[in-house]
Amino acid sequence: MIDALSQLFAYQFMQNAFLAGTTAAVLGGIVGYFVVLRGEAFAGHTLAIVGFPGAAGAILFGLPQLLGLAVLCTASGLGIGVLGRGAVRDRHAESAAIGTIQAFMLGLGFLFVTLYKGLLEGVYSILFGTFLGVTRAQVLLLLAIAVVALAALALIGRPLLYLSVDEPAAAAAGVPVRMLSIGFLVVLGLAIASTALITGALLVFALLVMPAAAANQLVARPGLAMLVSVGLGLVIVWSGLTISYFTDLPIGFLVTGVGFVIYAVARLARQLSGA
């Protein structure tokens, strides 16, 4: 076992994969807790799809993929927040704004792919991830984005939690509901941009929703739930990378597969406990 683990970390591409995956798991676990708590999986899904035109545009214009992801995901998060919210949350307006932005961004992604004259291997990695193709420069950029996103979330975390649990009471208490909601969507865009580089735009929920959803089945306290969510995210990433290395199975399938099993077990455990 020791020899196998030594072999696993002998190559720089595996070191980069574990570093990037660990960063994405920590960020996704914490941000994902608020996504699940606030019921904003649809917004997260749209921002994940936005990762496709973001990375495709970066490839087209010769820019780093993560930069394209970050710019377009955060801009779309801001757009959803501005167009989909008034003084109070209007789920109908929010759904309409999300659907509109999603449709436009998919069309933009198709335009970028059409204009791109090179091989489509890079576009494939946008959709399904490139754990084993992450460079050290991308790891450092990913870490920087994660630090910024987590710092922003730390600043708004307590009022955001209050807002997520009871929005009318938070509004009555003077909490800036609209600004906090928009701010969270921007942070969510950053988190998705970071995670999509690893999992791909189509599989981003493997680290953004699955660990947090499982954690919510197991514990109720917010702080502990976030820690459990991060821990489960790390298990998903580390086990997926290890199994993929020794079996050559696709990393995207393994990450989502392990995440699904963890959620199913957590859900079953809650049902059996009668909670």
**Number of residues in the chain:** 275
Residue 31's nearest CA partner among 159, 161, 126 is 161
Q: Would you state the pLDDT for residue 88?
A: 55
Torsion angle of C-alpha atoms 128, 212, 187, 203, degrees rounded to 10: 10
pLDDT in tens, 77-112: 888 888 876 555 666 777 888 888 888 988 998 898
Contact 22, 32 (CB under 8 A): no
Contact 210, 44 (CB under 8 A): no
Taking 70 as the threshold, does the pLDDT of residue 202 lie above it?
no
pLDDT in tens, 45-57: 888 888 788 888 8
Q: What six digits make up the tokens of 90?
A: 């209007």
pLDDT in tens, 111-142: 988 887 765 555 566 666 666 677 888 888 88
- What letters, b where the CB count within 10 A reaches 16 and e where it falls short, cover 70-93? bbbbbbbbebbbeebbeeebeeee
Residue type, 191: A
Three-class secondary structure of residue 89 per DSSP: strand
Q: Number of folded domains in the chain?
A: 1
Confidence tier at 252 by pLDDT (50, 70, 90): confident
d(C-alpha 79, C-alpha 21), whole Å: 28
Q: Would you state the pLDDT for residue 174?
A: 87
Q: Give Dmax (Cα) for the chain.
A: 60
DSSP summary character for residue 203: G
Q: What six digits make up the tokens of 6?
A: 């030594």
> What CATH number corresponds to the domain at position 69?
1.10.3470.10
Full residue range of the structural domain in which residue 142 is found: 2-273
The structure's pTM equals 0.84
Beta carbons within 10 angstroms of residue 40's beta carbon: 22
Three-class secondary structure of residue 85 per DSSP: strand
Residue 236's nearest CA partner among 48, 44, 34, 22 is 22
Q: What six digits make up the tokens of 202?
A: 């189509």
DSSP summary character for residue 1: -
Q: What six digits make up the tokens of 250?
A: 């696709």
Residue 127's nearest CA partner among 211, 26, 47, 56 is 56
Using the structure block, give the residue that is written with the tokens 């069309």: 107
Greater pLDDT, 275 or 180: 180
Average pLDDT over residues 213-231: 93
Contact 69, 54 (CB under 8 A): yes
